[in-house]
Amino acid sequence: MERDQIMPHEMSMKGQTCLITGATNGIGHATALALADKGATVIIVSRNEAKCAQTVESIKGITCNQAIEYMVADLSSQSSIRQLAVRYKSKYDKLDVLINNAGMIFLNHQETVDGIEMTWGLNHLGYFLLTYLLLDTIKASAPARIISVASSAHQPSSILFEDIEYKHRRYNGLGAYAQSKLANIMFTYALARRLEGSGVTANSLHPGAVATGFAANNGVLAKNIGRPLMNVFSISATKGAMTSVYLASAPEVATVTGKYFDKQKPVSSNQFSYDEDAQEKLWDLSLQMTGLAVLA
Ligand SMILES: NC(=O)c1ccc[n+]([C@@H]2O[C@H](COP(=O)([O-])OP(=O)(O)OC[C@H]3O[C@@H](n4cnc5c(N)ncnc54)[C@H](OP(=O)(O)O)[C@@H]3O)[C@@H](O)[C@H]2O)c1
C-alpha cells in the first residue's frame, strides 16, 4: 500500500494508543495505517511474527510514524489472549482505542485449542475475552473507544443458544459466521450498557464487501478463484477501513455508544440483536465459555 492510498485525515491522534487485532492484512492493516498516519501509537496483533514485523516496518516507512509495534497472539486461543493482555499491561499503561477486527470464516468444521468451534472461538469469544481483560486499562484511559468489526452477514441470523457450536446439527460455515457476527453486535450492545457513564464508548460496524484475504483460508479454490473473483466486486481495504477509522477518531462520535454503523452512519442491526434478554444470556454464556464466570 502506498502513502497516497491512505484516506485523507483532519484529526490528529497524537498521544493516543490504539490496539488493532488482525492488522497484518485487509481491513485491519488499512485501519492501522490510517491511525498511524494520524500520529497515534499503534500496536498491531496477529499470529504470524514475520508478517507482524513486516507490517510494522511498512507502516513506519509509509507514515514516518515510528510509534508502531506488534504483539503476536493467536486470538482463537484463550491462553494466548490472556498472555497478550498481560504483556500489553506490562508494557503500556493506557489504551485509548481497542479495535476488535481479527475474524475469519471456516467453511469446514474446526476447533480451537480450547475445543470450541473455531468461528465462535475466534470471532466472538476472541473479541469478548480480549475486551474483558483489557477493560480496566481502557476505563482508566477514558475517554476511550471500543470498536468491534461485525458484518451485515449477521442479518439472517439468531443465536441458537441450544447449539451454538453445531454439535447437534450438520456444520454450516456461513451460518456459523453469521451467528458470530451477530454476537459481535449483541456483545457491543451489552458492553455499552455496562459502560454507561464511564467515558468509554462501544460500537460495532459493517465494513462493506471489501477486497481482502477474507475466506482465502478455505482451500485452493477459495484462495485462487473465489477470493480473487469476489475482490473484483469489492471495495478497497482503504475504503473498507473507513468506518473503523471514523469510529476510532472522529470527534462527532466521541460520546456515541451502543450503535451499529455502516458507511460511517448508525444503522439498524437485525431484530434479534435488540433482545436484551438474549444479549444478557450471551454475556453470561461468554463468561462461562472463557472461564471468567467465576470472577464476574
Ligand atoms: N472482507 C470483507 O468483505 C468483510 C465484510 C464484512 C466483515 N468483515 C470482517 O472484517 C474483519 C477483517 O476481515 P478481513 O477481510 O480484513 O480479513 P483478512 O484479510 O483475512 O485479515 C484477517 C486478519 O486477521 C488475522 N487473524 C486471523 N486469524 C487470527 C488469529 N487466530 N489470531 C490472530 N490474528 C488472526 C490475520 O493475520 P494472520 O493470518 O497473520 O494471523 C489477518 O491480519 C473480520 O472480522 C471480518 O469478519 C470483512
Residue of 31, 47, 238 best suited for mutating to test ligand 1, as the one with most atoms within 8 Å of CB? 47
- Contact between 149 and 204 under an 8 Å Cβ cutoff? The reply is yes
Buried b (16+ CB within 10 A) or exposed e, 254-277: eeebbbbbbeeeeeebbebbeeee
- Residue 146 has a pLDDT of 98
* Closest to 247 (Cα-Cα) out of 259, 238, 234: 259
* Banded model confidence at residue 7, pLDDT cuts 50, 70, 90: low
3-class secondary structure, 147: strand
- 44-77: per-residue pLDDT in tens? 999 999 999 999 999 999 999 999 999 999 999 9
Q: What is the mean pLDDT of the chain?
A: 94
Please give the share of the chain, as a percent, with pLDDT higher than 90.
86
With a 6 Å cutoff on the Cβ, whether 205 touches ligand 1 is: no
State yes or no: pLDDT of 78 exceeds 80.
yes
With a 6 Å cutoff on the Cβ, whether 74 touches ligand 1 is: yes
State yes or no: pLDDT of 3 exceeds 70.
no
Residue of 99, 101, 205 best suited for mutating to test ligand 1, as the one with most atoms within 8 Å of CB? 101
The residue whose C-alpha atom lies closest to atom 1 belonging to ligand 1 is 210
State yes or no: pLDDT of 4 exceeds 70.
no
- 245-264: per-residue pLDDT in tens? 999 999 999 999 999 999 99
- Residue 215 has a pLDDT of 78
Please state which of the ranges 160-169, 181-190, 206-215, 259-268 shows the lowest mean pLDDT: 206-215
- 269-286: per-residue pLDDT in tens? 999 999 999 999 999 999
User: Which atom in ligand 1 lies closest to the alpha carbon of residue 123?
Assistant: 45
Please state which of the ranges 28-37, 118-127, 140-149, 232-241 shows the lowest mean pLDDT: 232-241
List the grid coordinates of 152.
451485515
With a 6 Å cutoff on the Cβ, whether 223 touches ligand 1 is: no
With a 6 Å cutoff on the Cβ, whether 207 touches ligand 1 is: yes
The phi, psi pair for 45, rounded to 5°, reads -130, 130
With a 6 Å cutoff on the Cβ, whether 28 touches ligand 1 is: yes
- 17-51: per-residue pLDDT in tens? 999 999 999 999 999 999 999 999 999 999 999 99
With a 6 Å cutoff on the Cβ, whether 214 touches ligand 1 is: yes
Q: What angle do CA 125, 181, 16 make, to 5 degrees?
A: 70
Please state which of the ranges 11-20, 230-239, 250-259 shows the lowest mean pLDDT: 230-239
Which residues are part of the catalytic machinery? 177
End-to-end distance of the chain based on CA atoms, in angstroms? 43
CA R_g for the chain: 18
* Banded model confidence at residue 106, pLDDT cuts 50, 70, 90: very high
User: Which atom in ligand 1 lies closest to the alpha carbon of residue 217?
Assistant: 20
- Residue 219 has a pLDDT of 77
Indicate the helix (H) or strand (E) that contains 45: strand 41-46
Indicate the helix (H) or strand (E) that contains 135: helix 126-140
Q: What angle do CA 127, 129, 135 make, to 5 degrees?
A: 95
* Banded model confidence at residue 233, pLDDT cuts 50, 70, 90: confident
With a 6 Å cutoff on the Cβ, whether 118 touches ligand 1 is: no
DSSP string, 57-72: HHHHHHH----EEEEE
* Banded model confidence at residue 216, pLDDT cuts 50, 70, 90: confident
With a 6 Å cutoff on the Cβ, whether 44 touches ligand 1 is: no
pTM for the full predicted model? 0.95
The phi, psi pair for 190, rounded to 5°, reads -70, -35
Cα(117) to centroid of ligand 1, in Å? 17
Cα(197) to centroid of ligand 1, in Å? 32
Cα(73) to centroid of ligand 1, in Å? 14
C-alpha distances (whole Å) from 214 to each of 107, 123, 223, 224, 254 are 12, 13, 9, 12, 30
The residue whose C-alpha atom lies closest to atom 17 belonging to ligand 1 is 214
- CA 167 to chain CA centroid, Å, is 26
Q: Would you call the peptide bond into 143 cis, given omega within 30 degrees of 0 as the criterion?
A: yes
Output 4 or 267, whichever has higher pLDDT: 267
